[in-house]
Amino acid sequence: MRMSDVMDRFRIHEDSLTGETVYYTTHPTGVKIAICPKPEFKTAYATFGTKYGSIDNDFSVDGGEFTRVPDGIAHYLEHKLFENEDCGAFERYAKTGACANAYTGYDKTCYLFSCTRHFEEAFGILLDFVQKPFFTEETVEKERGIIAQEIKMYQDSPGWQVFANLMKAMYREHPVRIDVGGTVESISQITPELLYQCYHTFYNPDNMVLTVAGKVDPQRVLELCDELLQPKERHEIVRRSPEDDGKVVQSFIEQESDVPLPLFQLGFKQSYRRISERERILSGIFRSAVFGPISDFYDRMMRKKLINPGFGADSLYLRGASASLFQGMSASPETLRDEIFEEIERVKREGICPRLFECARRSCYGGMVTLFNNADDIADYLCDDLMFGTDTFVAARAAADVTVEEANELFREQYDISNSSLSVVRRGKEGN
């Protein structure tokens, strides 16, 4: 195939704001592809991901009956794909010098590598092992013990406990309340047959994305995809999540552990709806302006010794679940919660400080532009864009022109103190 024929298959986006160029295409197999060449870079980074995570545990295919699979199976499947009949993918990567990894989240699983040399060999390994599952009773059983130990390790972690407890306090039915890895009991139900069923359901090219960034040639990447991506019969997946009544289950949950200071997470549950890129950017900006290190609130709480530099705010956006979160360590989480409540009510009355909003907006804009200085960040953002219909370039433009008036309106919507939960992990009375 001539070079012009290959390049004609791309939709090329040349962004005037950031100065970046991204090549988009949908491969004939159905895989969505995005490539951001950065010839001046020394490294290349690639991700091969599927829109399949721990919350996808109840589904139907092509209009069939719904299947409920054991919790943690998406994570289990991620572990098992690295092994095949001959040798593990990590052993193959080691021969190229590439650094490889993978992760499973609530709503996606991604396999990735970065390298400075031998990109084509490493890229070939990525596309090969993800498309060649190999499960036997023996290998699945062997992995069960490894993952069970991993689950127990997380359950002993105060940082995991405080978040997991918050999800249980906020959500009655939604699978976000279940750890990504499942439980020791749930993974005991996983079989090779179930792994193959989930693989063939969710590792379908129509459900997958491939992103590449750094020192790469888009034409050559697409040629390799033509050689290595395997066509499969396409099908329709319907995911089902339990309906949630919108109210938190309990407003306070506590656990004892050996920690020097109490850990806390405070969540504000929101009515779920799909939010725009502009709203995502606004949320981050006003969190920084109202609660971040530049804010008056942060300064007051530091002076009162209710927080330390680890204090922060974030958001949760998943299918069927949406929340604003605060986390950190505090000598008195309950007092800090009340202070946060008071600040929320004050900002709702008086509005966000325009000066601090502008400072936070400029910082956000700078961060959106400079993310293109890192191949890892580029590929990861493009992965989310392709998988969930977001748009990093739209987000960058939003950061350039959002207003404090928009932020005030969204702030009032996202923080309902009557629908919040506080999770605390603190040292027991006897120090246990």
Contact 328/266 with Cβ under 8 angstroms? no
**In the Cβ-directed half-sphere of 10, how many Cα atoms lie within 13 Å?**
22
| Nearest Cα residue to 174 out of 36, 44, 32, 272 | 272
Contact 201/144 with Cβ under 8 angstroms? no
DSSP labels, 32-52? EEEEEE-TT-S-EEEEEEES-
| CA distances for 256 relative to 55, 162, 166, 184, 411, angstroms | 28, 10, 14, 22, 33
78 noted as active-site residue: yes
The token duo for 364 is 């956000």
DSSP labels, 351-369? ---HHHHHHHHHHHHHHHH
Range 310-314 contact pairs with CB under 8 angstroms and sequence separation of 24 or more: 313/287, 314/287
| CA distances for 3 relative to 6, 9, 223, 347, angstroms | 5, 10, 10, 57
Catalytic residue, candidates 20, 40, 65, 78: 78
Q: How many CB atoms lie within 10 A of CB 334?
A: 14
Q: Could you tell me whether strands 252-256 and 208-214 are parallel, antiparallel, or unpaired per DSSP bridges?
A: unpaired
| Nearest Cα residue to 34 out of 207, 211, 209, 208 | 211
Return all residues near 401 (Cβ < 8 A) that are at least 6 apart: none
Spatial distance between the Cα atoms of 76 and 180, rounded to a whole number of angstroms: 10
Contact 206/30 with Cβ under 8 angstroms? yes
| CA distances for 261 relative to 161, 257, 314, 428, angstroms | 14, 10, 21, 11
DSSP labels, 114-151? EESS-HHHHHHHHHHHHT-----HHHHHHHHHHHHHHH
User: Token pair 């249980």 is at which residue?
Assistant: 168
**Hey, which residues are catalytic here?**
78
